Structure formats: structure tokens, C-alpha cells
């Protein structure tokens, strides 16, 4: 479905990714773990065409490295950035409508689905997004991306700074995506939630993948956790 081979990425002259190889298969959740600065966010930005990169990024057997971000989105990839990027002067409902992808194919998701996933958004649907709490804004940006009906959604740090109750809502959101067959590449700092919802775990260090395995494999590998994840 999504396959990266020997991907290098750069910010100007700064070489951040050093030959990343990874794969996301249909219907699975893959957690991309690592400390801050390890290259996780840069990896998803390279896939989405937001940073300069070399190597190979194939989406459904098509090379997408070098394409514009909007072209990649139209091909069926969704991206939820870490900084959320909601439209603050538009209402919750208007933000959701902006995420819709208009076309011949009927979407699997509608605004009513978003309100069932996060009832708080329904209560706030006529409220300007800029006055929402951090947790509500996170719910909104997740749902806005989902309104575009992506086949694979890449989510960068969805639980950062959120209260435990909101974290559990996000975890249930991820489970619902899996139930409906949407693949997920999840960049996450919280090891607990990543191990709970993912099918496979990848650990990054110094711009490379240093571990790949199941959540059970990672739980059993104390060396990898200590060397690359624990503070």
C-alpha cells in the first residue's frame, strides 16, 4: 500500500532522514516511535511532499516523491499535523466541510459520523474553532482530515498535551478507523497507547529505522526501549 525505500530528507543543507525503509499494509495501524528529533515527523512530511526528499515513496505502486501535497492528498493519503492547523474564525462545522473531497466517489464518512465519534464536537458545531480547548481542536483536526475519506491517514502526535480522558477518546477514534479498514501511520510519543492500538511498531533513531516488530516484540526488547525511547 505505502512503501518507502532508502528515503533521505533535508531541511536546506541539514540531512535529517538517512535511508528510511518502511511499509504500511492495508487496514493496519503502524506506530512510528522515537525521541524528539529522531526524524518521525520529517518522515510523514516527506511522504506528504512537504519536505525535500530523495529515494522512493510508492503509494499503491505509484511513485509520489516529488509530487505536490494536494496531489498526494487527492490520491488517498491524509495528514494530521502536530500543530493542528484549524481555521480559527470558522465554526467547527465549517472546518469539517472544508475537509470534504468533492468527486464522483461517495465518501465513507460524513459530518454526522464525526459527531458520533466525538459528541463534544456536535455540541460545539456552531462555535468558532479558535475558542475550542486544545483537546477539542485535536478532535476537530482529526475529523477534518477524515472527511476527505483517506485510505491511509498519517497522524502526528495526536495525544500530546491532552488530558487522559481525551487520550482515550483519541485511542477509540484510532480503533474505529481500523474497524472501517482505514490504514494509519501513527507518530506517537506515548508508548502505552501506541502498544495498545498498533499492529506493528517502528522505532526511529538518528533518522533511521532501528527496530521493527509487533507490540509484543517491543515490550520484550528492553535494550531498544532503553536505548531509543526512554528518557
CATH number at residue 165: 3.40.50.300
Specify the number of domains making up the chain.
1
Report the phi/psi class of residue 114: left, alpha or beta, with left for phi > 0 and alpha for psi in -120 to 50: alpha
Q: How far is residue 110's CA from residue 149's CA, in Å, rounded to a whole number?
A: 9
Helix (H, G, I), strand (E, B) or coil at 110: coil
Residue 52 main-chain phi, psi, to 5 deg: -70, 135
How many CA atoms, within 13 angstroms, populate the side-chain half-sphere of residue 81? 10
Range of the domain at 58: 2-228
Cβ proximity of 10 and 52 under 8 Å: yes
Q: Each residue's pLDDT tens digit in the chain (231 positions)? A: 999 999 999 998 899 999 999 999 999 999 999 999 999 999 999 999 999 999 999 999 999 999 999 999 999 999 999 888 899 999 999 999 999 987 656 778 999 999 999 999 999 999 999 999 999 999 999 999 999 999 999 999 999 888 899 999 999 999 999 998 999 999 998 888 999 999 999 999 999 999 999 999 999 999 999 999 987
Q: How far is residue 200's CA from residue 184's CA, in Å, rounded to a whole number?
A: 11
- pTM for the full model? 0.93
Amino acid at each position: 500500500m505505502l512503501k518507502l525505500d532508502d528515503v533521505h530528507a533535508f531541511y536546506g543543507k541539514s540531512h535529517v532522514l538517512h535511508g528510511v525503509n518502511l511499509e504500511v499494509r492495508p487496514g493496519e495501524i503502524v506506530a512510528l516511535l522515537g525521541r524528539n528529533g529522531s526524524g518521525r515527523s520529517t518522515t510523514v512530511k516527506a511522504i506528504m511532499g512537504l519536505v525535500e526528499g530523495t529515494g522512493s515513496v510508492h503509494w499503491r505502486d505509484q511513485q509520489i516523491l516529488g509530487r505536490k501535497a494536494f496531489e498526494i492528498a487527492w490520491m488517498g493519503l491524509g495528514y494530521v499535523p502536530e500543530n493542528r492547523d484549524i481555521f480559527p474564525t470558522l465554526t467547527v462545522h465549517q472546518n469539517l466541510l472544508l475537509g470534504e473531497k468533492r468527486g464522483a466517489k461517495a465518501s465513507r464518512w460524513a459530518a454526522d459520523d464525526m459527531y458520533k465519534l466525538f459528541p463534544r464536537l456536535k455540541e460545539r458545531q456552531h462555535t468558532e474553532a479558535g475558542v475550542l480547548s486544545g483537546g477539542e481542536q485535536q478532535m476537530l483536526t482529526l475529523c477534518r482530515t477524515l472527511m476527505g475519506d483517506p485510505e491511509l491517514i498519517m497522524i502526528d502526535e495526536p495525544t500530546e498535551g491532552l488530558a487522559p480522558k481525551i487520550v482515550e477518546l483519541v485511542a477509540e477514534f484510532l480503533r474505529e478507523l481500523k474497524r472501517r479498514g482505514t490504514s494509519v501511520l501513527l507518530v506517537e510519543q506515548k508508548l502505552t497507547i501506541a502498544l495498545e492500538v498498533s499492529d506493528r511498531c517502528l522505532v526511529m533513531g538518528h533518522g533511521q529505522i532501528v527496530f521493527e516488530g509487533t507490540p509484543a516484540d517491543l515490550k520484550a526488547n528492553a535494550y531498544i526501549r532503553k536505548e531509543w525511547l526512554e528518557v
